[in-house]
Amino acid sequence: MPDTALPQPTFFTRPDGLRLAYRQRAGLGPTLLFLPGYMSDMEGSKAVALDRWAADAGRAMLRLDYAGNGASEGHFADGKLASWRDDVLLLLDALTTGPVVLVGSSMGGWLALLVALARPDRVVAIIGIAAAPDFTEWGFTDADKAILATEGRIEEPTPYGDQPYVTTLAFWESGQALRVLDHAIAIDCPVRLLQGQEDRDVPWETALRVAERLRSADVQTLLIKDGDHRLSRDADIALLISTVTTVLDSF
């Protein structure tokens, strides 16, 4: 549901002329930067709830839509993991100063790791919500990969919206090129991983793999036994806000 408390999104023009939608809230730093999941946007329940908390707490926050998602211009099917990472980096560099705390949901958790690797001097903490790094590897069967190779895309129904879940060969290849779980992840900042054990999209063991691969010694994995992939129930949102509060209070 759109956040009716705010005006229409602001737009930032990429060098190629495409406009990216974002909402920015001034306040105390570090700046919270919310990264939505695949086929999601900055008006999702977790992003909006966190933004409302930031308003009440006087905290700086930035949320955005990747190209082809939400209110941003472009076509979803043209997006790649690398291009969406670059959208985040572009707005992080142009719109924020000082330390940043990344909050990434599902694919946004993968992007958070990639952004932290690219900006180690700016990212001071990461909070992953059902983070899904490398899902192009573990989330596709051999049959799926064969369809991608021959047809160039897969369309599947999704319980999260009316539009089919589309994966293109270009996105899959971009994801495969940016896998992080095959080796140590050279991130040293604090990381908090919230993961539901009833998640049907991201195996909960993935959070443990991420924790193991991270170089940081300050990593905590919080398993929610009855939590699903979205982790958007009132109790889940409360846990997210509590986690964000604790992380921010440490700076």
Annotated catalytic residue, options 40, 72, 105, 106: 106
C-alpha distances (whole Å) from 221 to each of 12, 122, 127, 132, 179 are 35, 23, 10, 14, 20
Q: How many residues does the chain have?
A: 251
Annotated catalytic residue, options 51, 201, 229, 236: 229
Does this model's pTM top 0.85? My answer is yes
45 among known catalytic residues: no
Annotated catalytic residue, options 41, 199, 201, 236: 199
183 among known catalytic residues: no
- pLDDT 10s digits, 127-158: 999 999 999 999 999 999 999 999 999 988 77
- pLDDT 10s digits, 16-38: 999 999 999 999 999 999 999 99
- Helix axis angle for 169-177 and 142-151, nearest 10°, is 120
Q: How far apart are the C-alpha atoms of 214 and 113, rounded to whole Å?
A: 10
229 among known catalytic residues: yes
| Domains of the chain: residue spans and CATH | 15-134+181-249 (3.40.50.1820)
- pLDDT 10s digits, 48-93: 999 999 999 999 999 999 999 999 999 999 999 999 999 999 999 9
Residue 182's pLDDT is what? 96
